[in-house]
Structure 1
Amino acid sequence: MIVDSALYRNGRRSEAAEDLSVALDEARTTGDAFLWLGVFEPTEEEFDHVSRKFALHPLAVEDALKAHQRPKLEVYDDSLFVVLKPVVYEAAADTVTAGELMVFVGDSFVVTVRHGEGAALSAVRHRLEQDPEVLRHGPTAVLYAISDSVVDHYIDVAAELQTDLEELETEVFAPGSADTKNTASRIYTAKRQLLEFRRATGPLLQPMERLAFGNVPFVDEYARPFFRDVADHLTRANESVEGLDRLLSDALSAYLAQVGVRQNDDMRKISAWAAIVAIPTLGAGIYGMNFTNMQELDYRWGYPMAVAVMVFLCLVIHHTFKRRGWL
């Protein structure tokens, strides 16, 4: 359950005591240290030990265990609870998968709870450990680094989705695209992936703005400009998502319009050929009645003349439809 646990004193990592209470007391006693505990998909029994040691609020603990939460920011008496949804783009399948990352921030501790493989924090922790000046600012620095990493990855995923959309647009306007159902299926799949992406980026803007402009406990005032930068990046990501959604809707409309035009063309061709076939059908119907007083039946050239007239009329109608673009 516990992926990593470390005590950071004056920006430098040191191993924390195995007993969480002892490690937390040590961090609070020194004043210039904090404890960062990383947890991955804990069970209720496993996380109960952690929640009791850090005095985490029961409602926040319940959200952290059940997952499937919207991005949000909750302030409790002894801690700050932030929910983030990191996303992963799988190029092979052109899919967007969202994980969940819960961050508890207290006076001298940070507890991160991950759900899903897309929420790995090892790179963030390693980068912070290479910059002690940032880590000296305590739990606020960790919350900022995690938020910044998640939001920056949103922009990368948006760029990948933009590339996929350009390929879709090329496919939509390619000749014969209206003859296949695969194009429509890809558009609908892209819409679903974009919806999953929007669920991660959209609700997060309000929590980031609270951190950037509000007076939030357990977050140092000096960090507000940094969270404003994260909020700006998140706004860019949301604008990209909105733009991609509009372009996908336009691509779908263009595809459906092409299908409609193609169907109209097919109906005109069918109608034109039906009109051509109707002429010999009419002639065969008239002469098939076998009336004895039909004078042309006694002519030597009556049959060739009837066939010639039908062929001529068919050619005239065919030429007319061809000139009008129906054939």
Structure 2
Amino acid sequence: MIVDVATYADGRRGEVQDLSGALQHCRGQVEGFLWLGLEDPGEDELARVAEALGLHPLAVEDAVEGHQRPKVERYGDTLFVVLKALSYFDEQSAVETAEVMLFVDDRFVVSVRRGRSRSLAAVREALQADPERLRRGPHAVLHAVLERLVDEYEAIDLELERDVAQMEEQVFSPERSSDAERIYYLKREVLEVRRAVAPLVTPLKQLLAGGGDEELGGVDGVDGTDGGEQALLELRDVLDGLVRTVEHVEGYDRLLTDVLNAHLAQVSVRQNDDMRKISAVAAMFAVPTLVAGVYGMNFDHMPELDWRWGYPACLLLMLGICLGMHRAFKRSGWL
């Protein structure tokens, strides 16, 4: 369905009544550009937009199917950009991924959103409040979306850093706990973030290079020919934040692997310690059991059977042996 549609000329928003009017705007030689926002569009709806705007069938197919790897591709004069929008839920320490796809041309921006995300709505509101930036055209929208999503990546990076630090502290605390499952799920979340952010580094570097790749080169507003130095500075700042986030996330992945190995080693050490204690206690009970077993046999001629103090002496002997073994185990560290 259509989330929002408007035309923008001289940094100001112009309303469009319906999809037909929006597409008619792009066919005419009018000033400004169209920004059409779609949420979970159907194949027929997206095909109608693609036919009117001349979108490439392969890009449209990717937008219909979804579940694409983050990438930036050029089809003629149109850029097709696939991004991942991430949301962090503190209660569950969970990361949810939505998909954002952009078709960027000199005349229009078509944004396709799949999954729950408020990123594009926030970008539109921020751009409408900054007409000077909006005057730079559709590629200003692309820069703003990239900037917004990378800011969200950096915020989630901080949340993951806190979660990993808490997990590390808990694993090495003296209290016994079963953390293997939590470490595994946290590692899964880190991997999901890594899949969302890492593949985007190379395409952004190619865009920043301004034509180093034949498929991406020569894009106005990205390589600096029309967008100017400000566009390059914005894209470079976005790339720096993205690379920093990728480095941190990869570090969390390695650290969680080490934490999991340390936790499993601690579990093994504690199990060995428990087995030593159990063995020590079993040994302490074995001697009294042996003595009691001997005197429990039914024979007439046994030592001390007729001795008045035989029974208490036997008990004292067993107690003394147990105390001696306890002291020996205590010295050796088994208890």
Instruction: Give the TM-score taking structure 1 as reference length.
Output: 0.91
Question: For 2:249 and 2:290, how far apart are their aligned partners in 1?
Answer: 61
Residue 218 of structure 1 aligns with which residue? 219
Return the letter of the residue paired with 2:4. Answer: D
Q: Say if 2:301 is the partner of 1:309.
A: no
User: What CA RMSD, in Å, does the superposition of the two structures yield over aligned residues?
Assistant: 1.9
Q: Equivalent residue of 1:145, what SS?
A: helix
Q: Give the match's secondary structure for 1:218.
A: coil
Decide whether the 8 Å contact of 2:23 with 2:49 is kept in 1. no
For residues 79-228 of structure 1, the aligned pairs below 5 Å read: 79-178=78-177, 181=178, 183-215=179-211, 216-220=217-221, 221-222=223-224, 223-228=231-236
1:10 partnered with 2:6: no
The correspondence for 2:239, drawn from 214, 226, 231, is 231
Please, which runs of 5 or more residues in structure 2 have no aligned partner? Answer: 212-216, 225-230
Name the aligned partner's letter for residue 218 of structure 1: V
C-alpha distance in 2 between matches for 1:72 and 1:114: 15
Q: Does 1:61 align with 2:60?
A: yes
Aligned partners of 1:151 and 1:233 also within 8 Å: yes
Alignment deviations for residues 171-225 of structure 1 (CA, whole Å, 9 cap, x no partner)? 32333233xx3x3222222111111111101111112111111412433222333
Distance 1:292 1:219, change over 3 A: farther
The one-letter amino acid of 1:321's match is F
- One-letter amino acid matched to 1:2: I
Confirm or deny: 8 A CA contact 2:210 2:218 kept in the other structure.
no
CA–CA distance in structure 2, aligned partners of residues 3 and 129 of structure 1: 16
Name which of structure 1's ranges 53-62 and 256-265 shifts more when overlaid on structure 2. 256-265
Indicate conservation of the 8 Å contact 1:212/1:226, yes or no: no
Q: Secondary structure at the match of 1:83?
A: strand
Aligned to 2:214: none
Q: CA deviation at 1:292?
A: 4.4
Q: In the alignment, residue 158 of structure 1 is paired with which amino acid? A: D
Spell out the pairing of 1:240-279 with structure 2 (5 A cutoff): 240-279=248-287
Structure 2 CA distance for partners of 1:131 and 1:99, relative to 1, 3 Å: same
Higher helix share: 1
Q: Is the 8 A contact 2:210 2:219 kept in 1?
A: no
CA distance in 2, matches of 1:52, 1:141: 25
Q: How much has 1:259 moved relative to structure 2? A: 1.7
What are the ranges of 5 or more consecutive residues in structure 1 without an aligned counterpart?
none
TM-score normalised by L of structure 2: 0.89
User: Displacement, 1:233?
Assistant: 0.7
State the partner residue of 1:322: 330
Give the superposition deviation at 1:148.
0.8
